[in-house]
Structure 1
Amino acid sequence: MPLYTISTRGELSAEAKAKAAMMITDVHCAHTGAPRTFVQVVFSEHLPLQDDMDLHVLASARAGRTQQLNDTIEQDIVQGMEHISSIPSLKIGYELFPVPASWVMEGGVILPEPGEEAEWLEKHQHSA
């Protein structure tokens, strides 16, 4: 957790996928302080997206962060995807699906609330 699903009408190269996964991980972790190992990125290609979209990002992340922080993450990811994919930002959609931390497990252990990762990692470093 978080899970970012990148859906496209067309296809992204393996290089673009690798860059996108790294960029999303960098953005998410820089803004939230979450461990890099929590971030997952999945790609789905050749999908019938809404008429005005060529690429869509669905972010499923722990709830509890401010709207300002969520907006900043969205802006950075959309700009990053525009640069990586050459798809104009007006053709890139983004949605956030916030989920309670108690709904998510990592290594068989319920994840902490945002901001409590350091203590959680110290306590569960061998089980996660």
Structure 2
Amino acid sequence: MPNYHCIIQDRLVPPAIRAQLANSITDIHCSLTGAPRHFVHVLFWPLLPENAFSGGQPAEFAIVKAQIRRGRSKEVKEKMLSEITTLWTSLTGMSKNNLLVSFSEIPGENAMEFGLVLPDSEFDHIWLKENGFIDEVPASGKGTATA
């Protein structure tokens, strides 16, 4: 369910770097939330340089706008924002001053994936087990993915 929309000027982020970003954003999301990897979607949207402005002036920047389910703690969200920002700047060489990373949260019942209505994130461990996405639910509440 989480979908990360990366709005970029093509020349600033080469395709090989995009693949690294997608893999690492998935790593970050899964390590902090316990989500199975196949639920994380990362999309890159090209932005023509002549269509990019900050403060009314032409600018070079990137936006990572993620839609996640509500229920993640403030600490988890802050850690994801920080790790994605660090990752992005280290792989692309862009300044953090030219990057916006943000989350929009939606209720689980407003999303369906694999033909299943999703729970709010606080009930992931139960939902993942009931639907066969994890084998067991450890004490941490994060499951071991089956797929």
TM normalised by structure 1 equals 0.88
Q: 1:116 to 1:66 in 2, by over 3 A?
A: same
Which residue in 1 is equivalent to 2:105?
A: 98
Distance 1:8 1:110 in 2: 31
Which residue in 2 is equivalent to 1:31?
A: 32
Residue 9 (1) aligns with residue 16 (2): no
1:53-103 CA-to-partner distances (Å, cap 9, x unmatched) read 511100100011122211110010011011111111111111111010111
Gaps of 5+ in 2: 134-147
Q: Which moved more, 1:50-59 or 1:25-34?
A: 50-59
Paired residues of 1:55 and 1:91 also in contact (CA < 8 A): yes
SS in 2 for 1:112: coil
Name the amino acid aligned to 2:110.
W
Paired residues of 1:35 and 1:117 also in contact (CA < 8 A): no
The count of residues paired between Structure 1 and Structure 2 equals: 126
Q: How does 1:63-78 map to 2 (within 5 A)?
A: 63-78=70-85
Moved over 6 A (4+): none
Once the two structures are TM-superposed, the CA of residue 14 in structure 1 deviates from its matched residue by: 1.8
SS in 2 for 1:116: helix
Distance 2:88 2:118 in 1: 28
Q: How does 1:81-120 map to 2 (within 5 A)?
A: 81-120=88-127
RMSD of aligned Cα (Å): 1.7
TM normalised by structure 2 equals 0.78
